[in-house]
């Protein structure tokens, strides 16, 4: 990525998602026009760094696109507020992941896992909302009290811009949503693990053994997913090792699907002996036979898609120059 691309990307990630595309196009066009007018059509990265140095940090540029009034917390205090809120959110998510792990795997808690998780989750939401409100109130009072925030800052250097593409950015709201949904899934799983199966008119519950034998595996996969997205929440972007971890988690999910499917296939004679209609059993066996292949295909498609995007998202000048020093082609 060129410096201009990196600058525009860093500005865009600080803006509301619905405005990013328009502002990115406008800002990139302005920067390229400025470079061409000052340095000609063969402007170098050093020329770009000079222009960006004059413009100022991405945070300052992003603030210029925001409304200038009617804010709850202004620019002077928004940086510290954002930092405190992020640290608080990371701690909260860490407590959530650790709490679910303890509630699931500590033997003394396994007798009432569903109730323990429900209570823990409710208390966490209650405490989280109260703490969030307190943080907002404190910084709002600092803002309205016209207290000047004095924070030491590093000199702005365009060469320090992160080399991060749009596809590598992780929406913190998205990551937090996945963590919360996975946590809720764990609650439901442990609450209903003895009720999931094929219920017959006489009260028998078939295939429940298959579910219960795989609950620890499904719980482990869920905790791994929560841990991974907690890391992504902290970092704010994908790295090669987090993508590799996601692939391993997906592969683990395929293995769990295979375990469940194998267990269902082994129950064919039991289902028929219990009086379940043969066409339904046949359909169920077909679904169980196809499920691992479908799951593996979905994971494979995702891997191919990511590889395809990574290949075609390379900088055009790198592809054309064989890795030579990048310049800005205007």
Pick the closest to residue 60 from 5, 15, 20 (CA basis): 15
Residue 70: pLDDT band (50, 70, 90) is low
pLDDT for the residue numbered 325: 41
Mean pLDDT of 123-148: 75
pLDDT for the residue numbered 64: 80
Category of 322 on φ-ψ map: left (φ > 0), alpha (ψ -120 to 50) or beta? left
Decide if 190 contacts 33 (C-beta within 8 A).
no
Domain of residue 30: give its range. Answer: 3-65
Q: CA-to-CA distance for 314 and 1, rounded, in angstroms? A: 8
Q: CA-to-CA distance for 283 and 7, rounded, in angstroms? A: 55
pLDDT for the residue numbered 259: 93
Exposed (0-12), middle (13-18) or buried (19+): which is 280, by Cβ within 10 Å?
A: exposed
Whether 12 is covered by a domain: the verdict is yes
The DSSP result for 271-308, as a single string, is HHHTT--HHHHHHHHHHHHHHHHHHHHHHHHHHHHHHH
Pick the closest to residue 330 from 136, 15, 45 (CA basis): 45
pLDDT over 60 at 302, yes or no? yes
The overall average pLDDT reported for the chain is 78
Whether 37 is covered by a domain: the verdict is yes
Residue 175: pLDDT band (50, 70, 90) is confident
Whether 39 is covered by a domain: the verdict is yes
Query: How many Å separate Cα 305 from the centre of its chain?
Result: 18
pLDDT for the residue numbered 102: 59
pLDDT for the residue numbered 2: 84
pLDDT for the residue numbered 109: 47
Q: Which residue has the higher pLDDT, 169 or 300?
A: 300
Going by C-beta distance under 8 Å and a sequence separation of 6 or more, which residues neighbour residue 162? 6, 9, 10, 237
Total number of domains in the chain: 1
Of 23-37, 129-143, 242-256, the poorest mean pLDDT is in 129-143
Going by C-beta distance under 8 Å and a sequence separation of 6 or more, which residues neighbour residue 225? 178, 182, 249
Mean pLDDT of 274-297: 90
Pick the closest to residue 253 from 223, 277, 218 (CA basis): 218
Mean pLDDT of 286-296: 92
Decide if 15 contacts 65 (C-beta within 8 A).
yes
Mean pLDDT of 117-131: 70
Whether 24 is covered by a domain: the verdict is yes
pLDDT for the residue numbered 67: 63
Q: Tens digit of pLDDT for each residue in 252-284?
A: 999 999 999 999 999 999 888 888 888 988 999
Whether 75 is covered by a domain: the verdict is no
Q: Tens digit of pLDDT for each residue in 303-330?
A: 888 777 666 655 544 444 444 444 443 3
Helices (H) and strands (E) counted in the chain, each on its own, are 12, 2
pLDDT for the residue numbered 147: 61
pLDDT for the residue numbered 86: 74
Of 85-99, 193-207, 212-226, the poorest mean pLDDT is in 85-99
Proportion of the chain above pLDDT 90, given as a percent? 13
pLDDT for the residue numbered 293: 93
Of 172-176, 193-197, 280-284, the poorest mean pLDDT is in 172-176
Tell me the pTM: 0.58
Whether 35 is covered by a domain: the verdict is yes
Mean pLDDT of 199-223: 86
Q: Which residue has the higher pLDDT, 8 or 166?
A: 8
Going by C-beta distance under 8 Å and a sequence separation of 6 or more, which residues neighbour residue 166? 9, 12
Please count the residues of the chain. 330
Residue 190: pLDDT band (50, 70, 90) is confident
Of 36-40, 140-144, 287-291, the poorest mean pLDDT is in 140-144
Encode 89-108: b = buried (16+ Cβ within 10 Å), e = exposed.
beebbeebbebbbebbeeee
Whether 43 is covered by a domain: the verdict is yes
Whether 54 is covered by a domain: the verdict is yes
Q: Which residues pair with 327 in a beta bridge?
A: 44
pLDDT for the residue numbered 117: 58
pLDDT for the residue numbered 285: 92
Torsion of CA 279, 281, 282, 286, to 10 degrees: 140
Mean pLDDT of 65-81: 68
């Amino acid at each position: 990525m060129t410096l201009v691309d990196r600058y525009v990307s860093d500005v865009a990630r600080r803006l509301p998602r619905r405005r990013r595309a328009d502002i990115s196009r406008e800002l990139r066009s302005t920067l390229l026009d400025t470079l061409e007018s000052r340095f000609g059509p063969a402007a170098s990265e050093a020329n770009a760094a000079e222009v960006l140095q004059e413009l100022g940090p991405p945070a300052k540029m992003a603030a210029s696109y925001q409304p200038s009034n009617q804010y709850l917390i202004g620019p002077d205090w928004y940086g510290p507020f954002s930092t405190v809120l992020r640290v608080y959110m990371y701690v909260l998510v860490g407590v959530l992941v650790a709490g679910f792990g303890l509630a699931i795997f500590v033997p003394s808690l396994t007798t009432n896992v569903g109730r323990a998780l429900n209570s823990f989750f409710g208390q966490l939401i209650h405490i989280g909302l109260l703490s969030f409100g307190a943080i907002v109130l404190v910084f709002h009072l600092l803002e309205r009290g016209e207290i000047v925030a004095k924070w030491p800052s590093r000199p702005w250097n365009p060469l320090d811009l992160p080399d991060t593409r749009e596809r590598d950015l992780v929406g913190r709201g998205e990551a937090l949503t996945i963590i919360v949904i996975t946590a809720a899934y764990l609650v439901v799983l442990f609450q209903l693990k003895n009720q999931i199966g094929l219920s017959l008119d006489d009260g028998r519950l078939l295939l429940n053994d298959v579910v219960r034998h795989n609950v620890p595996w499904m719980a482990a996969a869920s905790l791994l997913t929560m841990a991974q997205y907690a890391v992504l929440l902290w970092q704010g972007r994908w790295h090669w090792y987090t993508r590799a971890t996601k692939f391993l988690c997906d592969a683990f999910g395929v293995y769990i699907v295979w375990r469940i499917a194998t267990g269902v296939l082994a129950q064919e004679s039991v289902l028929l002996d219990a009086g379940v209609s043969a066409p339904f059993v046949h359909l169920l066996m077909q679904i169980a036979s196809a499920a691992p292949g479908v799951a593996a295909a979905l994971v494979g498609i995702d891997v191919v898609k990511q590889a395809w995007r990574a290949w075609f998202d390379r900088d055009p000048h790198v592809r054309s120059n064989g890795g030579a020093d990048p310049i800005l082609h205007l």
